[in-house]
Amino acid sequence: MVARAILGAPVRGWTGPRGLWLRPDRPRRRPIPVTGPGSGCGHTTSVTVEVRAPAPLRIVPQAPKICAGQTIPLEVEGGKAYLWDAAPGLNTVAGKRVSVQPLSTTSYTVWAIDSAGCETSGSVTVQVIPSDFLSLSASAARICAGEEVFLEARGADRYTWQEAPGLRTANTPRTSARPEQSQTYRVTGVSEAGCVDSATLRVEVRRMEPDFEMSAGRIDLAQESGQVQFTDLSPGATRWLWDFGRESSSERQHPVHIFTEPGIYPITLRVSDGVCTRQVQKEVVVVNTSSLEELSDAGRIEVVEAGQKGRFALKVESPRQMLLRLRLMNDEGAELFASALRLGARPYQQQIDLRNYPKGTYHLQLSDGVEVYTRDLEYR
């Protein structure tokens, strides 16, 4: 508040108009020396300025929340002659009661004169809840059939999920579903201010059905080479992992594998499309109807010295196709070399040279996966 003291006589040393403007911040008395005109007489007087704190204005409601597009009335108390600052959504700038329709959270300020004639003000912020306050997310946008997906809604105080196949019904922000096919989920939320919003989310369900075929499911190494062609038949697969057993594998889509020993081989194909991973298993049975014992008894396996110490000649004859494994080991059992012998119409012959090894006893071994033929070789 500004108070003006009107002087009845000129103020000594004062050259301005006959008055002083004061802006006191508390009650005070201000002595003002004056001198009468032409008399040389002086006089001192004082004035007391009473300072009052402006009465606060009260705006109701005090912390309003509304939904987007709604209108709310505001009423101010504690003064008179109200004047509002212009602001978005305000219907009028004058009056005790106004209404507002803000598009977003907005503050409104009003000015007034209180009962003491002092200027005062007040303000209130209207919080606007946006129309799209609800959000919905999933742990995965694409899943494999039979897998579980977790759904989470945010932004509201209360939630209601629309029934859907595979959905675990629960009026909570977080729930889960196990759909068997692609599904759209919908949740409705209510905010603290009573605003209503809905959100939807689609979860894509993929199916992976792995399958493959092979050129042979049973192999006789006495009659066949042991080579098998594998062909993938899995629709939509982008990655493959074949397991042929005995630590043999391939990542090709259509691999070829050669079986060299009799046995039952579980063949596993594991496929993926980046979302689903599934596997399928089949068997390959490998046999060898030829007999090493038969060859040995018939004198069809010969190992003789080849003219020089340390050199030997191996000769094997078979009346039918046969696949054998040849190994050469030292006296401690360490393998020096190994190779596959494919017998057929012509005799198989191979030179074995021990001169690159220390002198001693060596063991030549032939195997068909079932029986083993061993011949000791002396290099002295």
Total count of domains within the chain: 5
Q: Give the pair of three-digit tokens for residue 347.
A: 């005799």
Residue 320 lies in a domain: yes
Q: Is residue 98 one of the residues assigned to a domain?
A: yes
In the chain the first and final C-alpha atoms are separated, in Å, by: 127
- Could you tell me the sign of the dihedral formed by the alpha carbons of 81, 87, 91, 97, in that order? negative
- Which CATH number covers residue 218? 2.60.40.10
Tell me the CA distances in angstroms from 313 to 70, 179, 325, 348, 358, one per residue in order: 103, 69, 16, 11, 19
- In this predicted structure, what is the pLDDT of residue 108? 97
Which of 229, 262, 287 is at the close of a domain? Answer: 287
Q: CA-to-CA distance for 352 and 136, rounded, in angstroms?
A: 75
Q: For residue 346, is it within any domain?
A: yes
C-alpha 68/C-alpha 132 separation (Å) is: 9
Tens digit of pLDDT at every position of the chain (380 positions): 444 444 444 444 444 455 554 555 554 555 555 455 555 565 566 666 666 777 789 999 999 999 999 999 999 998 888 999 999 999 999 999 999 999 999 999 999 998 778 899 999 999 999 999 999 999 999 999 989 999 999 999 999 999 998 898 778 999 999 999 999 999 999 998 899 999 999 999 999 999 999 999 999 877 778 899 999 999 999 999 999 998 899 999 999 999 988 889 999 999 999 999 999 999 999 987 777 887 888 888 999 999 889 999 999 988 777 778 899 999 999 999 998 888 877 899 999 999 999 999 999 999 877 789 999 999 98
Contact 280, 268 (CB under 8 A): yes
Check whether residue 273 and residue 318 sit in a common domain. Answer: no
Query: 186 and 260: one domain?
Result: no
Q: Which two tokens stand for residue 10?
A: 């000129």
CA 72 – CA 68 distance, rounded (Å): 11
pLDDT of residue 8: 45
Q: Could you tell me the two tokens for 28? A: 């005070």
E strand segments, 178-310: 183-190, 196-206, 212-214, 218-220, 227-232, 239-245, 248-250, 256-258, 263-272, 277-287, 301-305
Strand partners, 199: 187
Report in angstroms the alpha-carbon separations of 18 from 3, 32, 194: 14, 12, 64
Domain shared by 264 and 306, yes or no? no
* Residues 167, 99 within the same domain: no
Whole-number Å distance between alpha carbons of 25 and 52: 9
CB 151 within 8 A of CB 184: no
**pTM score > 0.75 for this model?**
no
Assess if residue 54 is contained within a domain: no
Is the residue at 55 inside a domain? Answer: no
CA 296, 221, 291 angle in degrees (round to 5)? Answer: 20
- Residue 270's domain comprises 212-287
The residues pairing with 277 across neighbouring beta strands, listed in sequence order, are: 272
The pLDDT of residue 11? 42
Alpha carbons 221 and 300: distance in angstroms, whole number = 18
| Whether 35 and 68 share a structural domain | no
CA R_g for the chain: 51
Q: Examine the fold and report which residue of 206, 227, 257 is the final residue of a domain before the chain moves on.
A: 206
Residue 28 CB partners (closer than 8 Å, separation 6+):
48, 49
CA 112 distance to own-chain centroid: 56
Token output for 227? 């080579």
β 372-379/335-343 pair status: unpaired
Which residue, of 149, 180, 206, is where some domain finishes?
206
